[in-house]
């Protein structure tokens, strides 16, 4: 977020709004998910009567927010890939769809839909007050409602979330990125053919450059699909085991815990894929870090920084890539 917001050049990056929203949703998901699972692992908090009373009242809402931002992150990743798909496969019509306004609408829609698919937690679960005879104190436990309609609603939303946020995004990304890869290869082959026909002296170097850029783009696209399949895909079998064995079976608990850890990993690695693998974002990150170091140096030695030194920290940010590779840059 610091790289994308502190540098004016970054605002001209395609999908800037989606990248900012993805960073915010991933960060908020990690925060609320940590608040959801951490307190019960601390004995002093888990066995505290006052904390148990407070935590049991708010944990369902914390879980709702964590689920909302996790699902929003998945939908924003899909929207990001849809935008790249339109820019590469349908470049003549992409300017009508890939706009800042449409990106903001997609973000708002993703958050709203994710919230609707996460609200079942406080609706289908109740906080029950129980008396513990050994300690002569009251504790609060969270149990699913005995209302049959709410149970059916929760189960329905659970399966809707399973397919809408786990299975379908993987299939959609696999299809779109495959089309993008085939299109890029066709473009590179066409450029190579034209270079051979015109017999340019630097044709061999140009072909190798195009091939290297295409390989980097293909690696990133496959990495997106693989990470979503590896980190989000296990949610599906984990939920099925949860239904088959029950929520207290050791096998179901083990697979659910592993799948949740992979979801944490997915949220943590999104930045690496979209802001580190790409050469453009790596350049921006280096320039932002260099600007930050120059700022610290200016604070330590305010009278030793020249005007030329200040300008050099941001002057070459604008030339990030070769302008002949705009099509592959956007990928």
User: pLDDT-derived band of residue 318, with 50, 70 and 90 as boundaries?
Assistant: very low
Q: Has residue 205 got a pLDDT over 80? A: no
Among 17-21, 37-41, 198-202, 239-243, which is the least confidently predicted range? 198-202
Q: Has residue 280 got a pLDDT over 60? A: yes
User: pLDDT-derived band of residue 310, with 50, 70 and 90 as boundaries?
Assistant: very low
For residues 83-94, give the mean pLDDT: 83
For residues 158-184, give the mean pLDDT: 86
Model pLDDT, residue 323: 40
Model pLDDT, residue 212: 56
Can you give the residue ranges of every domain in the chain?
A: 2-291
User: pLDDT-derived band of residue 113, with 50, 70 and 90 as boundaries?
Assistant: very high
Model pLDDT, residue 303: 44
For residues 115-128, give the mean pLDDT: 91
For residues 81-108, give the mean pLDDT: 86
86 or 289, greater pLDDT:
86
Model pLDDT, residue 311: 45
- Residue 186 near residue 297, CB atoms below 8 Å: no
Superfamily of domain 2-291: Rhodopsin 7-helix transmembrane proteins (1.20.1070.10)
For residues 64-74, give the mean pLDDT: 93
pLDDT tens-place string over residues 127-165 = 888 877 777 777 888 888 889 999 999 989 988 988 888
Among 114-118, 209-213, 308-312, which is the least confidently predicted range? 308-312
Model pLDDT, residue 234: 80
User: pLDDT-derived band of residue 201, with 50, 70 and 90 as boundaries?
Assistant: low
Q: Has residue 302 got a pLDDT over 70? A: no
């Amino acid at each position: 977020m610091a790289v994308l917001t502190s540098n004016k050049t970054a605002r001209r990056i395609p999908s800037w709004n989606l990248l900012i929203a993805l960073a915010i949703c991933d960060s908020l998901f990690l925060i609320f998910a940590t608040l959801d699972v951490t307190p019960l692992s601390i004995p002093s908090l888990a066995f505290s009567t006052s904390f148990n009373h407070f935590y049991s009242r708010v944990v369902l809402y914390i879980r709702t927010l964590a689920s909302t931002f996790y699902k929003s992150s998945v939908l924003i990743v899909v929207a990001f890939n849809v935008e790249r798909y339109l820019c590469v496969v349908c470049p003549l019509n992409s300017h009508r769809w890939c706009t800042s306004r449409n990106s903001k609408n997609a973000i708002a829609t993703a958050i709203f839909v994710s919230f609707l698919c996460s609200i079942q937690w406080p609706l289908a679960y109740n906080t029950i007050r129980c008396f513990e005879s050994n300690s002569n104190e009251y504790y609060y436990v969270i149990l699913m409602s005995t209302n049959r309609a709410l149970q059916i609603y929760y189960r329905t939303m659970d399966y809707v979330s399973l397919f809408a946020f786990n299975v379908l995004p993987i299939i959609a990304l696999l299809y779109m990125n495959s089309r993008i890869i085939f299109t890029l290869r066709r473009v590179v082959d066409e450029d190579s053919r034209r270079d051979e026909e015109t017999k340019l002296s630097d044709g061999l170097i140009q072909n190798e450059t195009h091939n290297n850029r295409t390989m980097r783009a293909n690696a990133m696209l496959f990495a997106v699909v693989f990470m979503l399949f590896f980190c989000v895909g296990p949610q599906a079998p984990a939920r099925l085991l949860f239904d088959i064995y029950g929520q207290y079976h050791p096998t179901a608990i083990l697979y659910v815990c592993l799948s949740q850890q992979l979801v944490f990993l997915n949220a943590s690695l999104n930045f690496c894929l979209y802001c580190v693998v790409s050469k453009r974002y790596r350049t921006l990150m280096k320039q932002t870090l260099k600007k930050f170091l120059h700022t610290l140096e200016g604070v330590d030695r305010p009278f030793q920084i020249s005007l030329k030194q200040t300008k050099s920290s941001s002057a070459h940010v604008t030339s990030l890539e070769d302008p002949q590779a705009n099509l592959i840059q956007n990928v």
